[in-house]
Structure 1
């Protein structure tokens, strides 16, 4: 666990506990928040480190990934909500599968962002969270709306897009979901590295999405791929 960032800042600083096992993502988020004078940031890379950090004063904001090396972020959200009801909690995740979305929200998350859909100014997003808003990635919001309107007694919405992907596009999307690079995908499928971005643009267009995370989420919801 890293040392507390922001020592010496004025009283009233917003304390943030950032829990993210992927080092580049953790550094990027940390730098974006620590660069704003009102934030005091502590980072953790595992569930154990996060629990240790929570033995101190309650953070005003918890930003957590779900897939951690030694457990699931939903456990951390549940524990934090029970111990610190006033803490604002936002999920930062690579995939928005149905079970994780609903579980995280049910146990206390008030915001849910896909990593590939981070807003340009994450500091402004955290300010919104503290102000009482619930920042949610567009694809997550659409899923929640569809699920709500599909409850008994309500007419379910039709699928967002019934266009099916080609077998090649399915293969490429599965590679994206597994976190492979474009070069890896091309190598596995016997394609030219230069042709993969064109296939991905086609996938985005058919699924009506703009990011890798949203594409995977939509494909999972439409039953086009399984992980």
Structure 2
């Protein structure tokens, strides 16, 4: 965690999630992180819109499938009323249309619920730093959707600067693209989590990105992922 974040005011987070257990888990994860502050934890579109009518949060962390409507409506309302606020979707849905509709409504991040608590907290901090955290499986789907019109327009012949990854960096990139957490990568490659984080920082620097999702996007665009090997695991 950066020193600047520790000195700054805590980042306020509004959680909108209808499942009581998941809502509690998210709330506890936020409350345990000194850089974050739980603004409120709500369970439906109506309560979220009512809360946003009178106050705002630095980050809106929201599920899409709410009992009285779609979280996309709340995202759109928040983006229009508080354009300075960041929005991150957390959901079990990886449906292409939901992903794109969320992004179009104003979401800057999209994380699946099976992500671990440390990854979710890291994604919130990345979002506030200006990154766009997206679960790797989601990133690949969106990339595939984006690639089709690009290929039709003949734009896939773009010349990109060569990126040279070490064998260790390539292996780690494949694993985070598969969706493994830093701890899982460390166990699989018999490394410490700190060493994995150092390698990932080097990968980000080489790809000029700031998050896992962006790294998967850029690596896919450059043909750096060993997709056959990933699918075989």
- Band of TM-score, shorter chain: 0.5 to 0.7
> Which residue of structure 1 lines up, in the alignment, with residue 153 of structure 2?
153
Pair 1:134-2:132 in alignment: yes
> Which residue of structure 2 lines up, in the alignment, with residue 165 of structure 1?
none
> Which residue of structure 2 lines up, in the alignment, with residue 87 of structure 1?
85
Taking structure 1 as the reference length, the TM-score comes to 0.62
* Counterpart Cα distance in 2 of 1:71 and 1:139: 25
CA contact (8 A) 1:20 1:64 kept: yes
2:14 maps to which of 14, 17, 21: 17
* Counterpart Cα distance in 1 of 2:28 and 2:61: 14
Give per-residue Cα distances to partners, 1:1-31, cap 9 Å, x unaligned.
Answer: xxxxxxxxx9822111000001111111100
* Counterpart Cα distance in 1 of 2:44 and 2:229: 37
CA contact (8 A) 1:149 1:155 kept: no
Q: Which 5+ residue runs of structure 2 have no aligned equivalent?
A: 1-6, 157-227
Displacement of 1:37 after TM fit? 2.2
CA RMSD of aligned residues (A): 2.5
Displacement of 1:84 after TM fit? 0.6
1:104 maps to which of 82, 102, 105: 102
CA contact (8 A) 1:119 1:125 kept: no
> Which residue of structure 2 lines up, in the alignment, with residue 200 of structure 1?
none
Cα distance change on mapping 1:94 and 1:154 into 2, 3 Å: farther
> Which residue of structure 1 lines up, in the alignment, with residue 46 of structure 2?
48
CA contact (8 A) 1:33 1:122 kept: no
SS at match of 2:13: strand
* Counterpart Cα distance in 1 of 2:31 and 2:54: 20
Displacement of 1:154 after TM fit? 4.2
**How many positions carry a matched residue from both structures?**
153
Give per-residue Cα distances to partners, 1:46-94, cap 9 Å, x unaligned.
Answer: 1111112112322100000000000001101111101110100000010
Displacement of 1:95 after TM fit? 1.1
Q: Which has the larger radius of gyration?
A: 1
Q: Which has the higher helix share?
A: 2
CA contact (8 A) 2:29 2:117 kept: no
> Which residue of structure 1 lines up, in the alignment, with residue 28 of structure 2?
31
Cα distance change on mapping 1:53 and 1:146 into 2, 3 Å: same
SS at match of 2:98: helix
* Counterpart Cα distance in 2 of 1:128 and 1:209: 31
* Counterpart Cα distance in 2 of 1:131 and 1:53: 25
SS at match of 1:120: helix
SS at match of 1:129: helix
Pair 1:116-2:139 in alignment: no
SS at match of 2:134: coil
Taking structure 2 as the reference length, the TM-score comes to 0.60
Cα distance change on mapping 1:75 and 1:206 into 2, 3 Å: farther
